[in-house]
A and B are shown apart, each in its own frame.
Chain A
Amino acid sequence: MNILLIGANGYLGPHVVRELAPHHRLRITDIHPAPPEIRRQFPDHEYFDLDVTSQEQVMQGSAGMDAIVNLSVVRRDPELAFRVNSQGCYHIMRAAVEHGIRRVVNSGPHFTVTGPSYEQFDFGIHPDVPPQPGTGLYPITKSLGHEVCRVFAEHHDVYVQDLLLNSLRDDADLKAGAGGVPFVVTWSDAAQAVRLALEIDLERLPSKCEAFFIFGDLPQQKFLNNEAKRILGFEPKGNVALLWKRPGVPEG
């Protein structure tokens, strides 16, 4: 499969490249250059600059692709957050429609749909709820991007999977008692989810716009990742539950 990766040179991108490179032909793009070790390790893939805020660049970069993976994100800049997180999705979806690309994998934080009004009150939260991102810049701009994707999917022959992540960790950082946000996934498991979203038969998706919570198996039951497991076949390997184990207490 020919895959356009947008925002591929951030934190998650290189993990996704490692996961996908053996199986697919990648067009690895970002406004930042790819890490040298990635270029050395995967010299047979395409690399070039692409700014998701430019409709023209996204349109050109999408030519000849079978799927688009959007990993771009801006969290704090009040202008760029809109241009990247919201308008960027508009540019991507227009390009997908123009080029007949039926598969788009988007990404964002879990509060794209389940903001403070869910997180501060509820348990057993799943991603198929009416979006309530709240008024924070990062959540609301990502949520608007999600809505753009949903509207395009409803009106065009495009399937969107929005992978919602939050706290990403290295396996080495998973230490007993460290705690954290109960929405943790390892980088490699997150990359696995991207691969699964690219490989699933589109006709098996329950709808043309699906959101999945991507995190490892956690004890809190605050959020649920069962749909990612059931539909995508997501099998997180990282022992993220360890973060909430009592230090020094043996398993069992």
Chain B
Amino acid sequence: MKRRTFLQQAGVLLAGPAATAAAAEQKPQESGGPPTSRRPVVLLTSPESDLSRALAAALGEQFHIRTADGPLFRDETGRLDRMLGGVNAVVHVAQPAAAETGAELLDQRTRGTYDLLTVAVAKGVELFVYLGSLDVMGGYDPSFQVAEDWRPVPTSDIGQLSHYMAECVCREFARERKLRAIVLRLGAITQEAAARGHSGDVPRVDQADAVQAVRLALEAHFTRQGAGLQAWNVLHVAADVPDGRFPVTRARRVLGYRPQSAFPE
């Protein structure tokens, strides 16, 4: 079955003529060589973050990477429209560098995500990957094994609350079948070597494994015809700890996620 047919049957709207036309518009910073018709165009946000840089480096061979600097708000200049013209997927890293206060972080993760999604839909973007945090599930008693179908329980801490609210925004766009949304709730990103001996309540994930999960999410949509994916998808991405608090069973099943690093809880 062709991807377009599959996604139409799944109820996910696809890039249409608008996306083709938009591809001719001016593009922001790009890497990975010239775009070809075979390589989907992926917009990466928060390019100044370590994770976004690692993603750009790792995904450049399979995808045409475009990066989005600065606050992602709609404005009179049409900057977001230009940024998203011709884009097939957005990976929203959501680690804004400019957020100096809690209110700014909240604004960038809520309004920024909403504006990004709104323009993405208008431009025919098919897939929106939001990189959230497993912190929003950290409120459950540590004796439980917590899966994706458990209710998020963020505290009023602005970091958790803003991630949770961004998830809510993504969910409404997916609910209306405006595009496919995948939330990857990441453990605390860490480098394996630096983390050895570290203990704490926060589930962790090696940066390379987080990158792996994003790559697999893009591949599942673009090269596996969305097999196993719905319009709305939430997946926990952490180290694979035997009997750990946050099993990665669903990411393993849906994406084929195989974390290479393990951190004991």
Give me the interface of A with B, judged by CB distance under 8 Å.
55, 78-79, 82-83, 86-87, 90-91, 93-94, 97, 115, 117, 131-135, 137, 140, 143-144, 147-148, 151-152, 154-156
Contact of B111 among A79, A148, A154, A155 (CB under 8 A): A79
Give me the interface of B with A, judged by CB distance under 8 Å.
73-74, 102-103, 106-107, 110-111, 114-115, 117-118, 153-156, 158, 161, 164-165, 168-169, 172-173, 175-176, 178
List 19 additional A-B contacts (Cβ < 8 Å) besides A144-B165, A151-B164.
Answer: A78-B74, A78-B111, A78-B115, A79-B73, A79-B111, A86-B111, A86-B165, A90-B102, A90-B158, A97-B156, A117-B176, A134-B176, A135-B117, A135-B173, A148-B161, A151-B154, A151-B156, A151-B161, A155-B155
- Say how far A208's CB is from chain B's closest CB, in angstroms: 13
Indicate if the CB atoms of B110 and A55 lie closer than 8 Å: no
- Taking CB as reference atom, which chain A residue is nearest B114? A140
A83–B112 alpha-carbon span in the complex (Å): 12
**Cβ of A137: which chain B residues have Cβ within 8 Å of it?**
114
Indicate if the CB atoms of A135 and B155 lie closer than 8 Å: no
**Cβ of B161: which chain A residues have Cβ within 8 Å of it?**
90, 148, 151
Indicate if the CB atoms of A82 and B107 lie closer than 8 Å: yes
Q: Which of A55, A86, A151 has most chain B Cβ within 10 Å?
A: A151
**Cβ of B74: which chain A residues have Cβ within 8 Å of it?**
78
Contact of B172 among A79, A93, A134, A152 (CB under 8 A): A134
A151–B173 alpha-carbon span in the complex (Å): 22
**Cβ of B110: which chain A residues have Cβ within 8 Å of it?**
82, 86-87, 144
A94–B161 alpha-carbon span in the complex (Å): 13
**Cβ of A55: which chain B residues have Cβ within 8 Å of it?**
103
- Taking CB as reference atom, which chain A residue is nearest B176? A135
Indicate if the CB atoms of B115 and A151 lie closer than 8 Å: no
Indicate if the CB atoms of A87 and B103 lie closer than 8 Å: yes
- Say how far A91's CB is from chain B's closest CB, in angstroms: 7
A113–B164 alpha-carbon span in the complex (Å): 16
Indicate if the CB atoms of B176 and A91 lie closer than 8 Å: no
Indicate if the CB atoms of A83 and B173 lie closer than 8 Å: no
Q: Which of A86, A134, A143, A144 has most chain B Cβ within 10 Å?
A: A144
A-B contact pairs, 11 of them (CB 8 A): A82-B114, A87-B106, A90-B102, A93-B156, A117-B175, A134-B172, A134-B176, A135-B117, A135-B178, A140-B168, A155-B155
Indicate if the CB atoms of B73 and A148 lie closer than 8 Å: no
Indicate if the CB atoms of A147 and B106 lie closer than 8 Å: no
- Taking CB as reference atom, which chain B residue is nearest A116? B176
